[in-house]
Chains A and B, each alone.
Chain A
Amino acid sequence: MKPEMRQQLARLSFEQKIRKVSDLIRLSRKIKSSSGDAVLGRLDKAAAELDSGKGVPLARVREKIRGWAGK
């Protein structure tokens, strides 16, 4: 953001600034929850793949890694 614009924001009344901070909080919560939804979506997809036999169960991965480490 341009320094003049930042100076302009700094000159707002305290009430106006607090409203803007509240907007920022709401926005950041929205972003966090939507990225949280995306992670949950990926987990749901992975779980569905595992259930349908497409994925490799974590226990099997651990067994494999143990096997490779022993070599």
Chain B
Amino acid sequence: MAEERSGIPLADVLRAANELVSAGLIKDYALGGALAAIYYTEPFTTYDADIIFIPTDETLTAGIPAIYSHLQSKGWRVEHEHMLIKDFPVQFLAARGLTEEAVRKAAPIEYEGVPAKVFGPEYIIAIAASVGRHKDLARIEQLISQTTIDEALLDDILRRYNLKLPKR
């Protein structure tokens, strides 16, 4: 369906990520990046989805080749650093440190009947602070003004990972 192709096939993405867990190719995952922020804020334009996963394979490749070939067997295409489903780019990123903790503490959600997990707002803020691009700073501002933040948790994460929020 042409209209569907120009939209975000998020249910398909989450279903595929769940299959990767069932197939033992990844231990766990959560939705991160802009789409995770949108779970808590007003919608804004983004052109890809970030799936942050805890690898089963602890070698340097983090099992990415096996993940890619599994998804390709299901009709996904590879384009640069993305995997494409219905022309929508998805990035599979191996979690470590702060992002691994964010996956482990992610909030369970259901999207169009598909169970999934999404990063908590405190973790999205901390990750944005660690990256520090303009769009990350805007994301922090949006999250702080549009959702309820557990300040004690945020302070604890920032302290443990030696991060600071930008001055407002």
Seen from chain A, the residues whose Cβ lies within 8 Å of a Cβ on chain B are 3, 6-7, 9-10, 12, 14-15, 17-22, 24-26, 28-29
Contact = CB atoms under 8 A, between A and B. Distances in A.
B162 interface: no
Interface of B is mostly: loop
A26 B43 contact: no
A21 B6 contact: no
B45 A10 contact: no
Contact of B7 (A9, A12, A26): A26
B109 A25 contact: no
A36 B151 CA distance: 46
Q: Is the interface of A mostly helix, strand, loop or mixed?
A: helix
A17 B111 contact: no
Size category, B interface: 20 to 34
Given A15-B112, A18-B38, A10 B7 contact: no
A24 B43 contact: yes
Contacts of B7: 18-19, 22, 25-26
Contacts of A20: 43
A6 B40 CA distance: 12
Interface string B101-134: 0000000010110000000000000000000000
